[in-house]
């Protein structure tokens, strides 16, 4: 099980790098004491604060203090509101998750079957349409798609509420905006993975002993594409977070993504760093889980004969 230990070590290393990144961008951002209290503070309080938080210590010690703070979910006070950054972020998380989880579900539920269907009819009209639709869907910026949907369904047809939260119908446009590109990633990836697996010699062996193509697809192809799909899901998670940030801004959705944009625009770094650390550690965890699942399902990795397989590119 040494690869598990190695993999865990790498995840921890990446996490540490992430924390170091936010720490140094914070340091780059200027004096945290000044950032915390604003410009109107008297020098004594400032000095006392520096003493208390160890800002006079060498950098490595400050980093340890910073680490300790993060461990206790203390990301500092929001510059704009004066409240704990973590409080602000966690209050906005449910709204963001309410967009992300349905997006994930619909992307997989639509994209994967579409990809399988396209691969099974490779070269046919359905296949060609799927590919072109996927290329186009991926090329449209999320904010533009959001605006177009808003223009058509709210401004023009007046069917849906343009922004904010007024009821269940408010979900439709944001989720659609996010799911279109993610679903096309799944469709393309599934299609090419399926085509690749179906050209593997084991398929010919199976056909040669008279197994039906349907059965072959079920017992050989599907398990073999399930593995890369796990990896792609972990990677797509990051894209969905990105889409959430953009989509929330377009539709004035009260989630953490909009909070991030507002905080970046207002240089409210405590909040920004909290969201970035949250995003990063979620991604690290997602990738770790994907790899562990991979190793658990794939006997070749369990045997540690070779290192982790090269991760498939997100592009299909």
Per the listing, tokens 């099980």 go with 1
- Least distance to another protein from the beta carbon of 50, Å? 21
Task: Select from 30, 94, 113, 164 the one that contacts another protein (CB under 8 A).
Answer: 30
204-234 burial by CB neighbour count: b if 16+ within 10 A, else e?
A: eebeeeeeeeeebbeebbeebbebbbbbbbb
With respect to another protein, which residue has the nearer C-beta, 2 or 44? 2
With beta carbons less than 8 A apart as the criterion, state whether 83 and 77 touch.
yes
201 near another protein (CB under 8 A): yes
**232 phi and psi angles, rounded to 5 deg:** -65, -35
Side-chain-side CA neighbours of 301 within 13 Å: the count stands at: 18
142 near another protein (CB under 8 A): yes
- The Cα–Cα gap between 158 and 107 comes to 26
With beta carbons less than 8 A apart as the criterion, state whether 241 and 278 touch.
no
Q: Collapsing DSSP states into helix, strand and coil, what is residue 306?
A: coil
Task: Select from 149, 187, 232, 284 the one that contacts another protein (CB under 8 A).
Answer: 284
139 near another protein (CB under 8 A): yes
**84 has which bridge partners?**
77
Side-chain-side CA neighbours of 269 within 13 Å: the count stands at: 17
143 near another protein (CB under 8 A): yes
Q: Which stretch binds another protein (CB under 8 A): 84-92, 100-108, 138-146, 169-177?
A: 138-146
Task: Select from 67, 97, 128, 164 the one that contacts another protein (CB under 8 A).
Answer: 128
Residues 239-278 that bind another protein (CB under 8 A): 239, 241-242, 245-246, 249-250, 260-261, 263-265, 267-269, 272-273, 275-276
Residues 62-121 that bind another protein (CB under 8 A): none
Task: Select from 195, 229, 232, 290 the one that contacts another protein (CB under 8 A).
Answer: 195
38 near another protein (CB under 8 A): no
- Least distance to another protein from the beta carbon of 74, Å? 19
How is 205-227 classified by DSSP, letter by letter? HHHHTT--HHHHIIIIIHHHHHH
Task: Select from 8, 12, 13, 41 the one that contacts another protein (CB under 8 A).
Answer: 13
Q: Which stretch binds another protein (CB under 8 A): 39-47, 82-90, 172-180, 282-290?
A: 282-290
What six digits make up the tokens of 82? 């004066």
């Amino acid at each position: 099980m040494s690869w598990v230990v190695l993999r865990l070590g790498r995840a921890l290393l990446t996490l540490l790098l992430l924390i170091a990144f936010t720490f140094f961008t914070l340091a780059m951002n200027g004096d945290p004491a000044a950032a915390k209290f604003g410009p109107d503070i008297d020098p004594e309080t400032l000095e006392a604060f520096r003493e208390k938080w160890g800002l006079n210590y060498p950098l490595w010690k400050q980093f340890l203090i910073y680490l300790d703070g993060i461990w206790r979910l203390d990301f500092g006070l929001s510059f704009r509101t004066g409240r704990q950054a973590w409080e602000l972020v966690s209050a906005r998380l449910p709204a963001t998750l309410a967009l992300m989880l349905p997006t994930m579900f619909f992307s997989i539920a639509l994209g994967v079957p579409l990809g399988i269907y396209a691969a099974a009819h490779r070269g046919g009209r359905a296949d060609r349409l799927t590919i072109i639709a996927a290329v186009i869907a991926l090329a449209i910026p999320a904010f533009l798609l959001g605006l177009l949907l808003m223009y058509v369904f709210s401004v023009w047809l007046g069917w849906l509420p343009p922004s904010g939260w007024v009821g269940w119908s408010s979900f439709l446009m944001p989720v659609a905006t996010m799911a279109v590109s993610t679903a096309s990633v799944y469709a393309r990836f599934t299609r090419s993975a399926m085509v690749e697996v179906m050209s593997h010699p084991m398929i010919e062996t199976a056909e040669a002993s008279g197994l039906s193509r349907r059965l072959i697809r079920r017992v050989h192809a599907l398990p073999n594409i399930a593995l890369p799909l796990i990896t792609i899901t972990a990677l797509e998670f990051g894209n969905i977070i990105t889409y959430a940030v953009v989509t929330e801004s377009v539709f004035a959705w009260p989630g953490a993504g909009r909070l991030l944009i507002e905080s970046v625009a207002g240089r409210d770094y405590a909040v920004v760093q909290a969201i970035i650390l949250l995003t990063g550690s979620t991604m690290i965890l997602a990738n770790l889980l994907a790899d562990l699942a991979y190793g658990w399902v794939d006997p070749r990795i369990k045997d540690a004969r070779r290192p982790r397989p090269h991760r498939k590119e997100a592009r299909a």
